[in-house]
Chain A
């Protein structure tokens, strides 16, 4: 079984998993309105790290938060990351894309390549393996965990370090603005008045290993699946095809009543949330509580799949289904069990669901103690 041995989240809500979970549990959000930032003509709402806090001029902000996040995840382990038995997998959509801006300088242009960014990280840790970068739009963070599961099943590596990261920039914000996908206020996932997403900065790390036996408190990555809508490159399927199929494989023969929750993508765009409600119903999971964490963090892109898996593990450990911040009145056509309040649960499994541009969708089943 593929077991989570350590994790960390670096976000505007904290620099440890515990700080992040405590903040989310108490309803905190780092979403703020920015006006005139990065010379962008339109204001936007986002969850951003304080750029002045990053003083190491050897590394970009992306690289610094990846290195910090992995270092903190490693703190309470005895993993020798210099070993060839440890593989690094980075999940990101845009990495150091800000280096394309001719007004930025101080770093070699080659660092805009995701492989070079990842090599800076493995070089820092003295790891000898070529790092793998999963760049599969907004589902990257779950894809990277599925990659880790596959490599570990194969037995070639003892540990896989998965780190998801994205740091916002004029490039990304203006692009989403051109799509009219950004909400002018704090996002409202699955709500009747939702009007778009917010973006966010984060890095999040999970370290996995393979074990034959697991204790009842260990988290097991049971099954993951990636499926395409085969419909449109920038809009989700109207019948939730890819998400439905990904959910079906991830769920497998597990009974839906075993699930504490589905942690949805829930970006708060009209089409995404509607699509997810269709897919969840088609997969026979309409009775399972659903939540979205975008109201706390915004959409952290390459980090989202990792960050939201970690927060959901923490919540289930705490017998808690986190409320969906920003949600008030159900605004999708298929009924979902969503609340803006934290709710109690005694269940031990959840599904992380994501979808992204390129028609891609991913689902990951996590269970505490493993599938019995």
Chain B
């Protein structure tokens, strides 16, 4: 069963279908949303755009769910999908190694060159010991996503999933469509 949804694009934010007020658009919008609706998690500023997007979307989703006690739990999974994997972080990291005369690879940039880091960020924030997974498909396809999430309930402990689409092509082009699914 699907409960609650959050949609974020560079132009608008919808929480359970209702527009959420925000001042900025594009790349500064995620920071604006963080300051307005979250604000107690400075690790946010270290994240790449994909992780910021998934983090904000999950925070808005969990705020509607309520009862946020941050108690460790294993019964909630985080399973996200997208088209571009970690392309924005990959492009950034490539720029640090492209020129042999200006070669400065950094672990902080490299770690985000994996799309599943965003699922880890959400698990860390909420103390979720459950399943985390990241799947790439070439086009957004609701049928594939919903089928895949329903199958994830075959796990003997999983009873709910934060799931959906979290995609980021670059700092100005991103889209999150996530929801809470219960067994």
Contact = CB atoms under 8 A, between A and B. Distances in A.
B85 A135 contact: yes
Contacts of A39: 100
A230 B123 contact: yes
- The number of chain B residues touching the other chain, given as a range, is 35 or more
Given A132-B135, A226-B132, A358-B132, A97 B116 contact: no
B110 A115 contact: no
A34 interface: no
A136 interface: yes
A41 interface: yes
Contact of A113 (B93, B127, B138): B138
A134 B81 CA distance: 9
Interface in B153-174: 154-157
Interface stretch (B2-10, B14-22, B30-38, B101-109): B101-109
A22 to B, nearest CB: 34
A170 interface: yes
B94 A100 contact: yes
B117 A233 contact: yes
Given A100-B91, A113-B138, A359 B144 contact: no
Given A178-B106, A249-B156, A113 B116 contact: no
B136 A115 contact: yes
Nearest to A103: B98
A228 B100 CA distance: 37
Interface residues of A, number: 58
Contact of B132 (A130, A151, A234, A359): A359
Interface in B92-149: 93-94, 97-98, 100, 103, 105-107, 110-111, 113-117, 119-121, 123-124, 126-139, 141, 144, 148
B152 interface: yes
A360 B120 contact: yes
B114 A357 contact: yes
B136 A228 contact: no
Contacts of A357: 111, 114, 116-117, 120
A114 B94 CA distance: 17
B59 interface: no
Contacts of A133: 135-137
B105 A233 contact: no
B127 A135 contact: no
Interface in A355-372: 356-360
B1 interface: no
B72 interface: yes
A143 interface: yes
B83 interface: yes
Interface string A242-275: 1001000100000000000000000000000000
B182 interface: no
Contacts of A242: 129
Interface in A50-92: none
Contact of A227 (B98, B100, B103, B131): B131
B52 to A, nearest CB: 13
B87 interface: yes
B129 A228 contact: yes
Contacts of B137: 115, 130-133
Of A147, A230, A245, the most chain B CB neighbours within 10 A belong to: A230
Contact of A102 (B98, B106, B114): B98
Contacts of B151: 147, 150-151, 153-154
22 contacts: A97-B90, A113-B136, A119-B138, A131-B137, A132-B144, A134-B134, A135-B115, A135-B136, A136-B133, A137-B114, A150-B152, A153-B151, A170-B97, A175-B110, A228-B123, A241-B129, A249-B155, A357-B120, A358-B117, A358-B120, A359-B120, A360-B132
List 7 A-B pairs, minimum CB-CB distance, nearest first.
A115-B138, A358-B120, A175-B110, A150-B151, A133-B136, A228-B123, A178-B105
